C-alpha cells in the first residue's frame, strides 16, 4: 500500500471521476489495469451493477487535495 492511509480519488490520473485512479494509487497498481479490470467485471458479470457502484464510489470517496 502507499503511504496514504485513506483512499482518495485521484486528481492527476483521472478519466471521469478519478475513482479507478485513486484505487490504483492506494494499492500501488497500474491505473490502466484497474480500469480494464473494472470494465471487464462490469460487463461480464450480470450481477455487478458497475455504473451504479462507480457513482456511489464517486460520491463516497473524497477527492485528493494535492497532485
Nearest Cα neighbor of 19 from 44, 43, 38 is 38
Chain position carrying cell 497500474: 30
Q: Whole-model pTM?
A: 0.76
Condensed to tens digits (0 to 9), the pLDDT of residues 50-60 reads 888 888 988 99
Condensed to tens digits (0 to 9), the pLDDT of residues 1-54 reads 445 478 888 887 788 888 998 999 899 999 999 999 988 888 887 766 888 888
Tally DSSP H helices, then E strands, for the chain. 3, 0
HSE toward the beta carbon, residue 10, CA cutoff 13 A: 20
The predicted structure's pLDDT at residue 48: 67
Amino acid at each position: 500500500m502507499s503511504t496514504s492511509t485513506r483512499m482518495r480519488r485521484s486528481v492527476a490520473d483521472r478519466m471521469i471521476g478519478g475513482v479507478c485512479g485513486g484505487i490504483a494509487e492506494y494499492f500501488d497498481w497500474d491505473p490502466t489495469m484497474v480500469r480494464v479490470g473494472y470494465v471487464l467485471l462490469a460487463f461480464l458479470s450480470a450481477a455487478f451493477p458497475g455504473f451504479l457502484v462507480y457513482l456511489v464510489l464517486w460520491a463516497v470517496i473524497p477527492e485528493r487535495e494535492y497532485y
